[in-house]
């Protein structure tokens, strides 16, 4: 693998001062992975431009309350707060030293390979997202994290049904509970634990935590899970908090349907058999006005796809140095596979150190990051074992009624998707989209692709979009300017 010819001479061009000398690295995403990469690269002398769509650094895991809320105990909704304080101090030090420039509220819509001279990172500005700027750099670290997967069920579009991560983001970012008095947290995956305990600690009545996970499937992975005692302690802590808040845990259960006219009033849950299918006669109705639901996370790969980086399943493929197979592009954190904040930190650190050496034309000494590499291997193994246990209920797609809306942006029902995949003969997501418009709206299929693929009976193949988000024509037509 070779680096771009210009990697050692390109510069970060900013409008706020003279062009920086030496190689420049654009890090996209200021979550744990991006922050670790930026700090590691800057500490080794690279000029780093850290580009993120959020107003503050931290990403999903270290999402901070809005400054105007003047939170007195910002750590109360977080775990691993000390790690965040260390990371934030390192970031502040590098910004003060002029080695990192943090561009908050910058939404990257495309990373373009420039002929022989590195990359142009195009980003829309601020909440309005009308004007676009371009950051030029010799190398890029993609640390764009993941997003939630929600499998549809009848009633999932009722007001009061939100995503589990959305509830968590509301708590952490706005210090607010979702509207309503009684919540059910449902779906599958470890994220449901901080969501249920967070909601309960903030004063919501959590009527149940409903997870399709079969605890015996996790026990079968005991060997791999035991390799991360700190994670097991974390899990025990969540179990203790659930017990403290008297949250009933319904493992091997699923939500069959959400009920309500104007908004959510109840859900029907059922037990699952050994094959993950609902057991007839076990249905129970739970009254609630909030349902926080999620079935795991998916890696954000759109910028990588646009650049031509190869995939590894649903994630971006990387080597031991976190290099993608596009020279000059690294990827770290959940973009390369779902595995939590600690894994994101380890991968980001390795990516930053590798970039610092490679962009100067040096071969990095991997012994320098051996601790991070060991942590990366152990955590990847741990999360692979968890993945084997946390699986969605069997036959979920068959239970979706024809009138259930699958694609909210374009209001496409399961019936329309079934017609496209059946009589009309669509055999892949792209053809289903062309026939029904499912996935053509604002979210570009991020929310509906797993549901549409499940109902159509085809694979949830990546979209290979040229642009990662909708861009105004004016911004596309304008000559790119540098960030202010």
Residue 389 engages ligand FAD in binding (rule: CB under 6 A):
no
Distance of CA 445 to the CA centre of its chain: 15
DSSP 37-103: HHHHHHHTT-EEEEE-SSSSTTTTTTPPPPGGG--S-GGGG-SSHHHHHHHHHHHHHHHHTTSEEEE
Q: Which stretch binds ligand FAD (CB under 6 A): 32-40, 177-185, 401-409, 430-438?
A: 32-40
Residue 31 engages ligand FAD in binding (rule: CB under 6 A):
yes
Residue 26 engages ligand FAD in binding (rule: CB under 6 A):
no
Interface with ligand FAD: number of residues (CB under 6 A)? 35
How far lies 279's CA from each of 185, 217, 242, 294, 393, in Å? 20, 18, 26, 21, 11
In 10 A of CB 72, how many CB atoms?
A: 7
Q: Which stretch binds ligand FAD (CB under 6 A): 14-22, 222-230, 340-348, 426-434?
A: 340-348
C-alpha to C-alpha distance for 104 and 206, rounded to whole angstroms = 35
Residue 468 engages ligand FAD in binding (rule: CB under 6 A):
yes
Smallest gap, in angstroms, from Cβ of residue 53 to ligand FAD? 4
Residue 87 engages ligand FAD in binding (rule: CB under 6 A):
no
- Where do we find the tokens 């690294």? 330
Residues ≥6 apart with Cβ < 8 Å to 246: none
Choose, by CB under 6 A, the member of 41, 43, 52, 296 that binds ligand FAD: 52
Choose, by CB under 6 A, the member of 146, 439, 451, 463 that binds ligand FAD: 146
Residue 234 engages ligand FAD in binding (rule: CB under 6 A):
no
Residue 165 engages ligand FAD in binding (rule: CB under 6 A):
yes
Residue 108 engages ligand FAD in binding (rule: CB under 6 A):
yes
Q: Both tokens of residue 472?
A: 């105004």
Smallest gap, in angstroms, from Cβ of residue 129 to ligand FAD? 11
- Where do we find the tokens 């390192």? 90
Choose, by CB under 6 A, the member of 118, 145, 155, 178 that binds ligand FAD: 145
Distance of CA 43 to the CA centre of its chain: 27
Residue 252 engages ligand FAD in binding (rule: CB under 6 A):
no
Nearer to ligand FAD, 154 or 194 (CB): 194
Q: Both tokens of residue 150?
A: 């929600």
Nearer to ligand FAD, 27 or 43 (CB): 27
Restricting to residues 178-217, which ones interact with ligand FAD according to CB under 6 A?
191, 194
Q: Both tokens of residue 258?
A: 């959400």
Smallest gap, in angstroms, from Cβ of residue 178 to ligand FAD? 13
Strand partners, 26: 49, 140
Restricting to residues 296-335, which ones interact with ligand FAD according to CB under 6 A?
297, 300, 333-334
Q: Which stretch binds ligand FAD (CB under 6 A): 27-35, 254-262, 278-286, 317-325?
A: 27-35
Residue 61 engages ligand FAD in binding (rule: CB under 6 A):
yes
Nearer to ligand FAD, 185 or 269 (CB): 185
Element (H, E) at 330: strand 329-331
Residue 139 engages ligand FAD in binding (rule: CB under 6 A):
no
Would you say 28 and 52 are in contact if contact means Cβ atoms under 8 Å apart?
A: yes
Sort strands 405-407 and 284-287 into parallel, antiparallel or unpaired: unpaired
Residue 33 engages ligand FAD in binding (rule: CB under 6 A):
yes
Nearer to ligand FAD, 22 or 311 (CB): 311
Please report which residue ranges of 359-428 form alpha helices under DSSP H. 370-389, 414-421
Q: Is the dihedral of CA 83, 86, 89, 90 positive or negative?
A: negative
Please report which residue ranges of 74-176 form alpha helices under DSSP H. 81-96, 164-174
Residue 452 engages ligand FAD in binding (rule: CB under 6 A):
no
Binding residues for ligand FAD, rule: CB under 6 A, are 28-34, 51-54, 59-61, 107-108, 143-148, 165, 168-169, 191, 194, 297, 300, 333-334, 340-341, 344, 468
């Amino acid at each position: 693998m070779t680096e771009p010819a210009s990697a050692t001479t390109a510069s970060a061009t900013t409008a706020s001062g003279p062009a920086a000398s030496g190689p420049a690295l654009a890090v996209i995403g200021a979550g744990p992975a991006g922050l670790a990469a930026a700090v590691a690269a800057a500490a080794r002398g690279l000029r780093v431009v850290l580009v993120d769509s959020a107003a503050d650094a931290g990403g999903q895991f270290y999402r901070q309350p809005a400054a105007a809320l003047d939170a007195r105990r910002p750590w109360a909704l977080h775990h691993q707060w000390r790690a965040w304080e260390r990371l934030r101090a390192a970031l502040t030090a590098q910004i003060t030293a002029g080695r990192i420039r943090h561009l908050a509220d910058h939404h990257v819509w495309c990373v373009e390979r420039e002929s022989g001279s590195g990359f142009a990172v195009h980003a829309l500005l601020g909440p309005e997202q009308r004007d676009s700027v371009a950051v030029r750099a010799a190398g890029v670290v993609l640390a764009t994290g993941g997003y939630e997967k929600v499998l549809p069920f009848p009633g999932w579009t009722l007001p009061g049904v939100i995503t589990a991560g959305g509830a968590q983001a509301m708590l952490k970012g706005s210090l607010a509970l979702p509207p309503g008095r009684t919540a059910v947290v449902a779906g599958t995956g470890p994220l449901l634990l901080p969501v249920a305990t967070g909601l309960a600690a903030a004063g919501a009545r959590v009527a149940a935590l409903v997870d399709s996970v079969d605890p015996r499937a996790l026990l079968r992975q005991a060997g791999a899970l035991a390799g991360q005692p700190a994670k097991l302690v974390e899990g025990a802590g969540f179990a203790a908090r659930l017990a403290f808040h008297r949250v009933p845990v319904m493992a091997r259960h699923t939500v069959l349907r959400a009920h309500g006219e104007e908004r959510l009033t109840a859900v029907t849950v059922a037990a699952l058999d050994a094959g993950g299918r609902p057991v007839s006669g076990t249905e129970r109705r739970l009254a609630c006005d909030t349902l926080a639901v999620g079935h795991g996370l998916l890696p954000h790969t759109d910028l990588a796809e646009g650049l031509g980086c190869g995939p590894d399943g649903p994630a971006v493929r990387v080597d031991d140095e976190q290099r993608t197979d596009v020279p000059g592009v690294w990827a770290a954190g959940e973009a390369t596979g779902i595995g939590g904040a600690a894994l994101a930190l380890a991968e980001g650190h390795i990516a930053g150190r590798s970039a610092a050496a490679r962009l100067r034309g040096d071969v990095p000494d991997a012994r320098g990051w051996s601790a991070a590499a060991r942590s990366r291997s152990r955590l990847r193994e741990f999360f692979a074992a968890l993945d084997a246990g946390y699986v969605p209920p069997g036959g979920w797609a068959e239970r979706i009624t024809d009138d259930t809306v699958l694609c909210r942006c374009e209001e496409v029902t399961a019936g329309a998707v079934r017609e496209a995949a059946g009589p009309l003969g669509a055999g892949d997501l792209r053809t289903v989209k062309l026939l029904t418009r499912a996935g053509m709206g604002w979210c570009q299929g991020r929310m509906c692709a797993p549901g549409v693929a499940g109902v159509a009976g085809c694979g949830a193949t990546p979209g290979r979009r040229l642009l990662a988000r909708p861009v105004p024509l004016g911004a596309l037509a304008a000559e790119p300017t540098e960030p202010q």
